[in-house]
Structure 1
């Protein structure tokens, strides 16, 4: 079971890198777009170094649909924390309801219907 958690941890770390790559520059809107792109791609490199092996290792424990579901839920979790702490944006009730609906979809992906 512990080995099945490794891909989830790697996806969590990869999402932290990707969230900063995609949204971190929003605090620096005066920076030249070209520079933002280069810095974002540099950060994204580390995301790929984690996400690709996470999916490769994870495929031993999870289906592709399950891996994608894990990825999406981790993305929502990381982005929610990032937007609140880093960007200073409020998390509102409608965000939470939407996230809860997406998380509830995971039940249908992971439930054994056989």
Structure 2
């Protein structure tokens, strides 16, 4: 089960870079370049996300379980990205948001 989760983590790294990387690396570039940059990276994101979701589905995960897991992975990838690449200050609210997501994980997996 760890291989699909590794694929999700890699996918999220590319997704986060595709969605927000242009703000750091193409700050003064025209919009069309930022869009092209994002789509080129998003292609890599999909190359990891599609196999991850297929493998999880083959292991009997529901769509809800996959989505909630994806959101947890997104938060785990995004917060370090935000803190280190963009030098944003850490807020305690991020911890509370993470704990709320853990509650989501509990509820979506408890009936399986």
Taking structure 1 as the reference length, the TM-score comes to: 0.90
Instruction: Tell me the distance in 2 between the aligned counterparts of 1:29 and 1:86.
Output: 14
**CA RMSD across the alignment:** 1.2
Instruction: Tell me the distance in 1 between the aligned counterparts of 2:42 and 2:79.
Output: 19
Residue correspondences, number? 110
1:50-89: per-residue Cα shift (whole Å, max 9, x none)?
A: 1011101111222211111111100001000100011111
Taking structure 2 as the reference length, the TM-score comes to: 0.92
- Secondary structure, aligned partner of 1:17: helix
For the pair 1:21 / 2:18, whether they are aligned, the reply is yes
- 5+ residue gaps, structure 2: none
Moved over 4 A (4+): none
- 5+ residue gaps, structure 1: none
